[in-house]
Amino acid sequence: MFDYKTARTKLNTLHELALPLRGYFKADVLQFIEVGEYGLALDTIAGAFLDNKIRMSADLFATFEDLASEMELDRDPEYSAVAELRKKQIA
């Protein structure tokens, strides 16, 4: 069963770390989290890391991966910034 509270906590952690990134749409992410659009929030955060060409630390990437898996965003590997970030982190 999906744990919304834990997902929200993880998203907020990722959001806080993305705040200083150039071009990061912080208002959009907060709105996505508020209305329960966690997939859009995670995809936007992933996009910010990709756009800034920043690799996540191993711990941060593990949090990201756990959340993507819990949200079943790893089911369609061609779908989003989430998939693209995964490719860049693993490469």
Portion of the chain with pLDDT greater than 70, in percent? 91
pTM above 0.85, yes or no: no
Q: Give the list of residues 6+ apart from residue 7 with CB closer than 8 angstroms, or none.
A: 38, 67, 70, 71
| Low-confidence stretches of the chain (pLDDT beneath 50) | none
pLDDT value at position 88? 81
pLDDT value at position 78? 61
pLDDT value at position 75? 66
Domain boundaries, the chain: 4-90
